[in-house]
Structure 1
Amino acid sequence: MEFVSEQENKGIWRVKGSRIPKKRDMVAGIITPDRNREQEAYYLTPAARDAGTGLLNKRAWTEYTIEQLNRKDGQVRWLVIIDIDDFKHINDTYGHIFGDQVIRRVAEIMQELVGQRGVIGRFGGDEYVILLEKVETREQLKTLLKTIAKEFALAFDPKTHATASIGVSEYPVDGSEYEELMRKADKALYLAKEKGKNRHIIYEERLHGKLESDDMQNMAMAYAVSKEKKREVITKMITELCVSDVNSIVKKEERLQQIRSLFDLDGITIYSESGAQLVCRNGNYMVEVPDGRGLFEDEKYLALFGDDDNFIESNTLKLRSQDPAAFAVMQKQEIGAFLQCLCRKEGVPNVIVNFDVFNRNRKWSDEDITLLTILGHCIGNLLNYSE
């Protein structure tokens, strides 16, 4: 038998190993402090909240998540890591006050959409985490993540371009321990960043490989190195173009293949002289080269280029309603996505540089758009100059 006694200013005490003697109004036993009842879970305390967003802080979310995983009940749970894309650029461009507003608004959107289905935490900076406990199927998960991405896009001015990359792991399929699940979600996040950002990836060993002990460190380094590598290579190519001539790139098979490999492209096609001249066509295109003059004569198609003379499409199916003739050309060549740079000569469209992707969609990252645009216009302008 035991009972608990609580006295003001004296804490909580528990009587252990007690017995009731013949005198019924007495209890005999050993009295010790009830340490377990004195210690409230940290995630339930006011200190557990992040000051900037009101979400659980890193320690509190981690403590709660480990506690739930330790139940070992087999219930499906998803560990989600969300990272705002290019947040440093947002801070540098619009200021830290606006950056803080983005942080808070993103937190509000997730709270509204996740609701009672999970617990959200902020790991610091622009990174958030969610333990989803009431999302049973992968289809439900995908719907939720797509809705979050859509709401992010609607919440800010398009010029701000606030998007997020998301990595996910599944309990108990991907493991039962916190560290393993977090590392797999983190790997999925890095893959999402590497593939162009503004997307979610759900970890699958079959698709993404086993997780090695130093995998995350290598992934992080590879992502950082890949960005620097692209910048370094494009800078050297532009210098080479300026010092030599445009043929040092467009007539060099190894240079074109290097560009394709670096940016995960399937083909590069360049027309000059308003489509009359095929400058180069590098890649395993499945059909014969089309007559480029048709594109330059298609006013509807040329109108799709922006003020910066770029036309970027992640899914060529969108062309079906915009320009059926151009769509037919793309479909015949099995082009699924493209980035095109139009260069004018004395105000007249004269060169188009096409960076193509076959039979798949492609979400172009800001980094790739910037570098390919610089390279494409540099090539196009030099071709105009050399004619």
Structure 2
Amino acid sequence: MLYCYIEKDKNIVNITEYKNRGDGYKCYYGKATLKKGYSFVDGDEPFYALLGTNSCYSMTELLHPDDLDDFLGAIEMLGKGTQYLTARIRCYDQQYHYLYLEMRRNGRNIDGFDTIDMELSEFMELKDRYAIYMHLIRKYREFLGLLSQCYFEYSLETDEINIYHYINVRSIPIIKCPLEKARNELLASDEPDSLKTQFEVLYEVLKHGKDQFDVTITLPSYFDGTVQGSKEDRRRRFKGRMMYKDGVRYLSVGIITALEGTEERKSYYLTESAYDPGTGLFNKRAINEYTIERIRDCQNTHEGLYLAIIDVDDFKTINDTYGHMFGDEVLSRVSEIIRSDLNARGVAGRFGGDEFMVLFENVKSEQELRLILKTITKNIQWAFADKEVSVTTSWGIAKYPEDGSSLEELFKIADKALYIAKAKGKNRYIIYDERKHGNIVTDREIQQNSGIRSTIVSDSRKAQIVQELTLKLHKEGAGALKSALETVCAGFDIDGAAVYTGDDMHRSISVGKYVNPIQNLTWAMDKKYQELFDEQGVYMESTMSRLKDSYKEAGRMYVSQENGKFVQFMAVREGRPAAVVAFDFFNRSPKLGGTDTGMIRIIGAFMAEVAAE
């Protein structure tokens, strides 16, 4: 075996073993910008995936101590041009990864600091190749999207034929099924024998892996909605060739075109008039029709979709203050960022004004969705960081089929979530959760019957919750704490809550979906930590990295628990903490209004006193 080594301060690393380790996410190529304090902004999705929750720390905090001087030395040399170095950085798994870094000043000065663009990769020899290939892939997808024909591929390994077209740099499936199944259905149908004979020719050239072929057939009338019409309208030319892998035939690929003189009927979203002239995104009709069609397709494939409604925050003020030309620039740039960061995982459309809609596809989990949303929202904010105005967006998201089985149902849910995002202070995304956000039908009935403006829990209802829980806890004591915590979380949009008691401050009660929950709040027994609480025994923290200086382990554990913010309440007995109640917000730091803060302080402090008894 050939071994390659790097010697650095007498630390010997086997690079071959390091590259071959299979312990998780590999960042072939990612990028971000360093602002004042060497904090990260404007990162792309691979970058945020590599760092995980550590992206809230600064670069100097994440570097291995032995590599800090090299990094700072490279910073000092940026005046001479791009600097290159390898360094160990603490990543998503709290382990140090060897990364190859390229850093250069980008010409932007924010808050008196010359911001720095940074590119990083784990596999140094693949970085350039990866970037080039991704550029080529996107470029050719753009070319494919400009053409009107459909494309097909047939796998000799799986017998699957896939027919699709390209929209917004992503392939949209029309037909995807085993070739043998398509043939059997056609033979059992009432289609003319001449049509079956034509299809048999295509079947044979695909099955036998012919190197090149050019076959004209008439598609069955039931084949797809885009080819409905007379028999002549359904005539298509399949022109393709065979691809080889390791010298073995494995995939036939080609294009499908309508014959000259025939009329190919298209869905509206496939036509040239489907695009908004100001942004290049789908217009309202096109995005609606496309979404309806994809929902229909997913009823058979059981795929999941996410529907998002987006508003540019305070856009009317931006227009009125800076003029319509700048307003148009904002909409154009926001559209570019959404389309670019969305890549091939969905399509976007403009509803009009500053309102957009995005249909996310091929997103495997809510965690992946949150990563995409984080990337888009942060990049939009950073795009205007050197302007006089702050440009942010608010998002409301619904999931198919959990939140609805039609466009209308999903849109109502997403619209509700958007309203919540704006009511919570804007510049955020809300993924609808009925447990936290309530039932859409019930809330709208309440709104119509009582005149309450908000579709979220009203201030009067919150006050009622606090009053009812105070009486209940006074009457029933600690036995009612868990149900009380659940009610507070639902009413005040809190992600999780926990009670810590005993000499070891162990977690005695917990509600909500915690990741890596803190089992013992041992640092609460430390005098310096207790000094963080105000005279009423309340401590509110929205920057986890602040804890790291004095409470390094605590800071890491809060990050591991995915806290973006917490509010803690301490009850003291005989000069020692007897109980701590924690309200936790995961992966977000909501701006709590004065009314919410006041009511949370009242009920949280009372809960801590009850838990201490």
From 64, 71, 93, the equivalent of 2:290 is 64
Select which of 325, 336, 341 maps to 1:108: 336
**Which of residues 453, 467, 470 is equivalent to 1:222?**
453
Task: Give the whole-Å Cα distance in 2 for the aligned partners of 1:208 and 1:106.
Answer: 28
Whether contact under 8 Å (2:381, 2:391) holds in the other structure is yes
Show the counterpart of 1:124.
Answer: 352
- 1:161 is paired with a residue whose SS is coil
The answer to whether structure 1 residue 194 and structure 2 residue 423 are counterparts is yes
Matches within 5 A, 1:64-213: 64-71=290-297, 72-73=299-300, 74-157=302-385, 159-212=388-441
Conserved? CA contact 2:443–2:456, under 8 Å:
no
Q: CA RMSD in A?
A: 4.3
Write out per-residue CA displacement over residues 257-313 of structure 1, whole angstroms, 9 at most, x where no aligned residue: xxxxxxx9xxxxxxxxxxxxxxxxxxxxxxxxxxxxx99xxxxxxxxxxxxxxxxx9
Q: Using the TM superposition, give the Cα deviation of residue 363 of structure 1 relative to its aligned residue in structure 2, in angstroms.
A: 3.7
Q: Which runs of 5+ in 2 are unaligned?
A: 1-191, 196-217, 219-228, 234-261, 458-491, 493-530, 533-539, 552-564, 568-581, 595-613
Unaligned runs of 5+ in 1: 5-11, 17-35, 227-263, 265-293, 296-312, 325-334, 338-357, 370-387
Q: How much does 1:315 deviate?
A: 1.3
Contact 1:188 1:203 in 2 (8 A): yes
Deviation at 1:215, TM superposition (A): 2.2
Instruction: Map Cα deviations across residues 4-57 of structure 1 (whole Å, 9 max, x no partner).
Output: 7xxxxxxx85379xxxxxxxxxxxxxxxxxxx9654211111111001001000
- Looking at both structures, which has the greater relative contact order when contacts are Cα pairs under 8 Å and sequence separation is at least 6? 1
Write the letter of the residue equivalent to 1:222: R
Structure 1 partner of 2:231: 14
Detail structure 1 runs of 4+ shifted over 3 Å in the superposition. Answer: 12-16, 36-39, 216-221, 223-226, 316-324, 358-365
CA distance in structure 2 between the partners assigned to 1:217 and 1:194 by the alignment: 18
- Does the 8 A contact of 1:171 with 1:181 survive in 2? yes
Distance 1:217 1:123 in 2: 28
Compared CA separation, residues 218 and 106, structure 1 to 2 (3 A): farther
Seen in structure 2, the aligned counterparts of structure 1 residues 360 and 188 have a Cα distance that, compared at 3 Å, is same
Query: Using the alignment, how far apart are the partners of 2:445 and 2:264 within structure 1?
Result: 39
Give the corresponding residue for 1:42: 268
Asked if structure 1 preserves the Cα contact closer than 8 Å seen for 2:420 and 2:456, the reply is no
Q: Structure 1 residues 223, 163: closer, same or farther in 2, change over 3 A? A: farther
Cα distance, 1:53–1:65 mapped onto 2, change above 3 Å: same
- Cα distance in 2 for partners of 1:134, 1:316 equals 33
| 1:315 paired to 2:542 | yes
Deviations 1:302-334 (A, max 9, x none): xxxxxxxxxxx971545547999xxxxxxxxxx
What is the count of residue pairs matched by the alignment? 241
1:130 to 1:188, Cα distance in 2 relative to 1, 3 A: same
Report the alpha carbon displacement of residue 133 of structure 1 after superposing the two structures with TM.
1.0
Q: 1:336, CA displacement in angstroms?
A: 5.0
Q: Is the 8 A contact 2:346 2:359 kept in 1?
A: yes
Alpha-carbon distance, 1:204 to partner: 1.4
Q: Percent identity?
A: 43
Cα deviation digits, residues 90-111 of structure 1 (max 9, x gap): 1112111101000000000011
Tell whether the 8 Å contact from 1:118 to 1:130 is kept in structure 2 after alignment: yes
CA distance in 1, matches of 2:371, 2:397: 14
Give 3-state SS (helix, strand or coil) of 1:212's partner: helix
Change (3 A) 1:225 1:82: closer
Shift of 1:88: 0.8
Query: What is the Cα deviation at residue 136 of structure 1?
Result: 1.3
- SS at 2:356 equivalent: strand
Question: Whose strand proportion is higher, 1 or 2?
Answer: 2
